[in-house]
């Protein structure tokens, strides 16, 4: 998508200006239609005032050499409170120009429900528990129609239920152009303590649907190959009931698997099944955990007990207690011994197998009931856990 002739740029959480500098460099080197850049940068950390000012001076120099006009307005204030005032159209809010480009690598931090930022965002009708989504929601509102946003954030907003209101606003007011992910966190973010998976998003403020969305992937090192593909929008933006979520297929195998899933004749809900998390949170159940089986104890199954498709219990290489006392206090934590499909809830992107599944077969582990630890999923049916008819056996 071409850049406008006059760029009015918002850089919220500018740091030392790296994103503005990248855009300026591109404008100056590529010689497109842009003849003027005005940047409004927000940065709250006083320690970054000097490097940011230096960066703006360098941008000015680059632009001058390329015959592009450059002006900058650096605001050393809290972006959230300044932007909320504008979004709420408060009388004494500082005037900001309409932005047609926004760049953001906002702070990633949970915001407590009683924190100032949370209350400010709520006063502008934005409900989110993470600062980065608050930044993006405000930026989206400050953008002019057809304004472009490029953001670098964790990818949790794509499908987490916590980000549902943010996602709804994003997918209603913006059109996704491109999503870029990284093969591994270990290369591009190796110097930063980034544990979350990161996505770069390019979106345009427009309700005009697009037939395709570009999905790309790299290891983040300059000159290394880039996988990219334009996918039908409905392969990337999926809907489950009223919720829409973003699926970023990272290679052809995932697309193939997605196609196979879509061809399945029924969903879990059609079969009357739902999925529940294991009920035993081990540190809360500590008084009832036991190292060895004894009277009125039952197995407690952890993710390491899932072993090549079956449950290996006990797992002798595990140090954790794998037995739980059956008593009044644990009655709600245990479920009847039966056939269960159990799935690990968490696997790292770098692991070879992302989906780890095993069958709990009651005839291999004689017990009246069983506890599943909270890091695994088990299916439930009509409020109780799934059971196969008596006498049935897996093949
Ligand atoms: C993840 S860093 C990104 C810096 C820069 N944009 C980059 O990509 O290198 C986020 C920046 O936002 C700034 N920041 C955090 N909270 C802010 C707020 N409420 N208002 C303005 N800036 C904020 C931090 O000081 C930090 O420099």
Query: pLDDT band at residue 393, thresholds of 50, 70 and 90?
Result: very low
- What digits encode the pLDDT tens for the residues 44-59? 999 999 999 999 999 9
Verify that 125 and 191 share a domain, yes or no: yes
Is residue 379 included in any domain, yes or no? yes
User: Which of 243, 263, 283 finishes a domain?
Assistant: 263
Q: What is the pLDDT of residue 388?
A: 42
Residues 245 and 287 in one domain: no
> Are 85 and 226 within one domain?
yes
pLDDT digits (tens, 9 = 90+) for 311-336: 999 999 999 999 999 999 999 999 99
Up-side HSE of residue 2: CA atoms within 13 Å toward CB?
Answer: 8
Give the Å distance between the CA of 196 and the centre of ligand 1: 17
State the distance from the centre of ligand 1 to the C-alpha of 192, rounded, in angstroms.
Answer: 14
Both 283 and 228 in one domain: the answer is no
Query: Are residues 304 and 247 both part of a single domain?
Result: no
What residue's CA is closest to ligand 1, atom 6? Answer: 14
pLDDT digits (tens, 9 = 90+) for 4-14: 999 999 999 99
In a domain, 100, yes or no: yes
In a domain, 48, yes or no: no
- What would the mean pLDDT of 139-166 be, rounded to a whole number? 95
pLDDT of residue 386: 46
Of the candidates 65, 66, 74, which has an alpha carbon nearest to the alpha carbon of residue 16? 74
* CATH classification at residue 190: 3.40.50.150
Å from CA of 133 to ligand 1 middle: 13
pLDDT at 382: 41
Number of domains in the chain: 2
- Residue 285 alpha carbon to ligand 1 centre in Å: 40
Whether the per-residue pLDDT at 349 is higher than 80: the answer is no
Q: Ligand 1, residue 14: give the atom nearest the CA.
A: 6
Single out the residue of 387, 337, 343 nearest to residue 362, CA to CA.
337
Cα 227 to ligand 1 centre (Å): 30
Does 306 fall in a domain? Answer: yes
Residue 43, in any domain of the structure: no
Domain hosting 166: range is: 78-263
Do 217 and 279 sit in the same domain of this protein? Answer: no
Residues 125 and 86 in one domain: yes
Pocket test for ligand 1, best of 10, 12, 13, 19 (most atoms within 8 A of CB): 13
Residue of the nearest CA to atom 1 in ligand 1?
A: 107
Is residue 351 one of the residues assigned to a domain? yes
- Residue pLDDT, tens place only, 98-145: 899 999 999 999 999 999 999 999 999 999 999 999 999 999 999 999
- Mean pLDDT (the chain) is 89
* pLDDT band for position 163 (cuts 50, 70, 90): very high
Note the pLDDT of residue 185. Answer: 56
Q: Domain boundary residue among 244, 263, 282?
A: 263
Residue identifier of the C-alpha nearest atom 15 of ligand 1: 107
Q: Are residues 253 and 282 in the same domain?
A: no
pLDDT band at 193 (very low <50, low <70, confident <90, very high): low
- In a domain, residue 181? The reply is yes
Whether 381 has a pLDDT exceeding 60, the answer reads no
Closest residue to atom 13 of ligand 1, CA basis: 13
Residue 183: closest CA among 18, 378, 44, 348: 348
Of 274 and 47, the structure prediction assigns the larger pLDDT to 47
Ligand 1 nearest-atom number relative to CA 103: 6
From ligand 1's centre to the CA of 41, what distance in Å? 10
In sequence order, what E strands does 259-388 have?
273-277, 289-290, 297-301, 306-307, 310-311, 323-325, 334-336, 340-344, 357-360, 369-372, 376-381, 384-385
Residue 102 within a domain: yes
| Residue where one domain finishes, among candidates 215, 239, 263 | 263
Write out residues with Cβ below 6 Å of ligand 1. 13-15, 18-19, 42-45, 48, 78-80, 105-107
Task: Note the pLDDT of residue 120.
Answer: 97
Domain check: are 113 and 243 in the same one? yes
Residue 391's pLDDT band (cuts 50, 70, 90): very low
Residue 212 shares a structural domain with residue 350? no
Q: What per-residue confidence (pLDDT) applies to 384?
A: 43
Is residue 37 predicted with pLDDT exceeding 70?
Answer: yes
* Residue 337 or 92, more confident: 337
| Residue 104 Cα: closest atom of ligand 1 | 6
Q: Tell whether 139 and 225 lie within a shared domain.
A: yes
Together in a domain, 257 and 127: yes
Band of residue 350 on the pLDDT scale cut at 50, 70, 90: confident
Quote the ligand 1 centre to 315 CA distance (angstroms).
46
């Amino acid at each position: 998508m071409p850049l406008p002739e006059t760029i009015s740029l918002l850089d919220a959480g500018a740091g030392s200006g790296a994103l503005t500098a990248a855009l300026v460099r591109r404008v100056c080197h590529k010689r497109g239609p842009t003849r003027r850049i005005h940047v409004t940068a927000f940065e709250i950390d006083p320690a970054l005032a000097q490097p940011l000012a230096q960066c703006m001076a360098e941008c000015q120099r680059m632009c001058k050499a390329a015959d592009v006009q450059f002006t900058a307005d650096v605001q050393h204030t809290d972006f959230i409170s300044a932007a909320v005032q504008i979004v709420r159209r408060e009388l004494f809010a500082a005037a900001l120009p309409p932005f047609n480009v926004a760049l953001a690598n906002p702070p990633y931090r949970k915001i407590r429900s009683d924190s100032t930022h949370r209350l400010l965002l709520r006063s502008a009708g934005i409900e989110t528990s993470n600062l980065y989504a608050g930044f993006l929601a405000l930026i989206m509102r400050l953008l002019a129609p057809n304004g472009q946003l490029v953001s670098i954030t964790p990818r949790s907003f794509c499908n987490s239920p916590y980000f549902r209101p943010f996602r709804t606003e994003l997918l209603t007011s913006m059109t996704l152009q491109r999503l870029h992910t990284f093969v591994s966190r270990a290369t591009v973010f190796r110097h930063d303590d980034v544990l979350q998976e990161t996505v770069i998003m390019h979106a345009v403020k427009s309700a005009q649907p697009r037939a395709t969305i570009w999905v790309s992937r790299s290891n983040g090192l300059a000159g290394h190959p880039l996988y990219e593909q334009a996918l039908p929008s409905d392969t990337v933006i999926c809907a489950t009931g009223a919720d829409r979520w973003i699926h970023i297929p990272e290679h052809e195998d995932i697309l193939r698997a997605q196609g196979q899933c879509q061809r399945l004749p029924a969903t879990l809900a059609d079969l009357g099944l739902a999925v529940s998390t294991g009920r035993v949170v081990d540190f809360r159940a500590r008084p009832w955990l036991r190292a060895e089986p004894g009277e009125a104890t039952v197995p407690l199954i952890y993710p390491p007990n899932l072993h090549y498709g079956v449950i290996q219990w006990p797992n002798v290489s595990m140090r954790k207690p794998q037995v739980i006392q059956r008593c009044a206090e644990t009655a709600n934590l245990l479920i009847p011994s039966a056939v269960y499909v159990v799935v690990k809830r968490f696997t790292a992107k770098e692991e070879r197998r992302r989906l780890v599944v095993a069958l709990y077969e009651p005839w291999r582990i004689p017990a009246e009931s069983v506890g599943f630890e909270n890091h695994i999923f088990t299916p439930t049916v009509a409020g109780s856990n799934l059971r196969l008819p008596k006498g049935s056996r897996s093949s």
